[in-house]
Amino acid sequence: MLLTEFEWQTLLLSVKIAATAIGFSLPIGILTAWILARCQFFGKSLFDSIVHLPLVLPPVVLGYLLLITMGRRSVIGEWLSSHLNISFSFNWQGAALASAVVAFPLMVRSIRLAIESIDTRLENVARTLGAHKWRVFITITLPLAFPGILMGIVLGFARCLGEFGATITFVSNIQDETRTLPLAMYTLLQIPNGEQGALRLCIISIVLSLIALFLSELLNRWHKKKLAG
């Protein structure tokens, strides 16, 4: 299956945006998952609901919320632009931000389940021997949860590749800048004789999704074997 230059550029841009989104959200996702799995505090249920809100909100709503909070005319967006020269409006960085927000709860959920499956007695023994909780987290929790973290990365990456609604609402559909695989398919279906190109991109999306699901299942089995000893 031969791809045109436009289709190759779209694929590479999609991978770039998805990788950036995961790289940006992974540290926050690990910390959030650990807090939800190991900490008890007032308002935890509300915090948990807010973290997972992108799973149930329409992507267009997420895109609109990003537009009014991070757009050029928003307070945060204007401050970032004037003080740090950072802008998320109508560029690929904004597309990465939208993808990160949409994929974040999937990543957190996978990592949280991995952390919750770890025997807390291992962590308690380390604390009894004088290890600080952050040292326990880095030397015991993270290594044991590593397969679950990888699974979260894979699922999050796949979700980023399939993101449409939040992206087109927040950063529009700009060729070579924000036009990812779903947006390119949408564009091709609007022009004469674009069905073949849309079909090729559709096949690529299906293949990438199947690979992600296959890797996720392998990582899940690896995690279970690792916990079983």
pLDDT digits (tens, 9 = 90+) for 63-81: 999 999 998 888 998 999 8
Q: Model confidence over 10-46: pLDDT tens digits?
A: 999 999 999 999 999 999 999 999 999 988 999 999 9
Kindly report whether the global pTM for this prediction surpasses the value 0.85.
yes
**CA 6 to the chain's CA centroid:** 25
Which tokens is 179 given? Answer: 């036009």
Closest to 148 measured CA to CA, from 222, 53, 54, 52: 222
Q: Which of 64, 11, 53, 14 is nearest to 171 (CA)?
A: 64
DSSP secondary structure code for residue 119 in this structure: -
Q: Strand, helix or coil at 85?
A: coil
Split into its structural domains, the chain has a count of 1
Q: How far is CA 162 from the centre of its chain?
A: 11
List the CATH number of the domain containing 201: 1.10.3720.10
Q: Which domain holds residue 54?
A: 5-228
